[in-house]
Amino acid sequence: MARKVTITKEIILKNALEMLIEDGYSSISIHTLAKRIGCSTQPIAWHFENMEGLRKALYEYALEYDGKKTDSADKKNGLAFRKMGEAYINTAIREPNLFKFLYLGEGPISKPYSLMTLPKGKADADMIKNIAEETGLTTQAAATVVQDTVFYTHGIASMIATGVLKITLKQAISMVISASVGFINKERTVL
């Protein structure tokens, strides 16, 4: 009797992520994914129940995959903030389908941001504090610079991922740095 092959969640999610990156989220269905893996639809349905369950799990898996590229050992200073922005834009350039899924509403998590939630968390607070010290701005002014830079960076990355803008990573980062300097100078004049 032939040995039964176990199709794990990891195998399913790895293949789904590859399909997402290669051809976009619309290419993924339980049937196309099963065909790619070489199994029936049963293991996928068993692990995820339905397409919505797969979509949510894929979102978390893709977010973790993308996060590994943006993680920095020291998330407290301006250099770390720049590295996160570079990784974000790099995803838009190199893996536009992944970018659209994670950051342009194709994923299952709808997150209407507010100005109060960007940036958030202790790591962001530490980073903002250090940026304030590096630039001589108040913590609130540094938070505004970070927020404005995030919005600007997202706009550039969105244009790249959707094919509206064709530029290199170096060009995009140069634009973000110039804008950030402008945001810092704007906040200095407000003080």
Burial class (CB in 10 A: 0-12, 13-18, 19+), 63: middle
**For residue 143, which amino acid is it?**
A
**One domain for residues 79 and 157:** yes
- The more confidently predicted of residues 3 and 157 is 157
**One domain for residues 42 and 77:** no
| CATH number, residue 31 | 1.10.10.60
- Global pTM? 0.83
- Sign of the alpha-carbon torsion through 168, 171, 177, 183: negative
Nearest Cα neighbor of 150 from 142, 138, 140, 162 is: 142
**One domain for residues 56 and 99:** no
**One domain for residues 173 and 156:** yes
**For residue 94, which amino acid is it?**
R
First to last CA, the chain: 78
Q: What is the pLDDT of residues 72-125, one digit of tens each?
A: 444 555 677 788 889 999 999 999 999 999 989 877 765 555 555 555 666 678
The answer on pLDDT for 155 being more than 50 is: yes
**One domain for residues 154 and 113:** yes
**One domain for residues 182 and 143:** yes
**One domain for residues 169 and 110:** yes
Exposure b/e, 107-135, CB count within 10 A at least 16 = b? bbeeeeeeeeeeeeeeebeebbebbbeeb
pLDDT score at 114: 54
How many domains does the chain divide into? 2
Q: Is residue 3 part of a domain?
A: no
**One domain for residues 108 and 184:** yes
